[in-house]
Amino acid sequence: MNVSTLASVLCITLGLTVASGVCAESVSTTPTSDTTATAKASQKSIRKADHKLGADVRRALSKTRDITATNIFVRARSGVVTLTGSVPESAQITRAEEIARGVAGVTSVNNELSLQPQNYQRQSIPPDRT
């Protein structure tokens, strides 16, 4: 191989190396402003859907005559509804779960309701007066 052929091969190799580096940069995995904006919009729409689902479940519970929904709190995340708070009768715990499961968009229900009778009053313990 003479010097001019060797120089040509080196130039071609160098050219291919630079070109592959340029291509690699254009296919970068770093987030761009477009992908960041899309992700934020997606998160916003998910939060909006969760809020609507929670409101739908609260509405369904409040319209049900055999449930006292004033102390029931609803949280929705991606179709999973969590019920917390208290109800005055034990039958209302399972009934609230049934109602929540019947709302469109609910995929599962975590029922964390507790029983607290309406006439229940916490008794305060008088301070020790010794």
Which position has the higher pLDDT, 112 or 6? 112
Quote the pLDDT of residue 130.
55
* Mean pLDDT of the 72-76 span: 97
Structure tokens, 107? 């995929």
Angstrom distance (rounded) from CA 113 to CA 80 = 15
Most confident residue range from 43-47, 72-76, 113-117: 72-76
The percent of residues above 70 in pLDDT, for the chain, comes to 65
Which position has the higher pLDDT, 71 or 15? 71
Tokens 């949280």 belong to residue: 75
Angstrom distance (rounded) from CA 26 to CA 32 = 12
User: Does the structural domain 44-116 have CATH classification 3.30.1340.30?
Assistant: yes
Cβ atoms of 57 and 100 closer than 8 Å: yes
Q: pLDDT tens across 77-89, in order?
A: 999 999 999 999 9
Cβ atoms of 89 and 60 closer than 8 Å: no
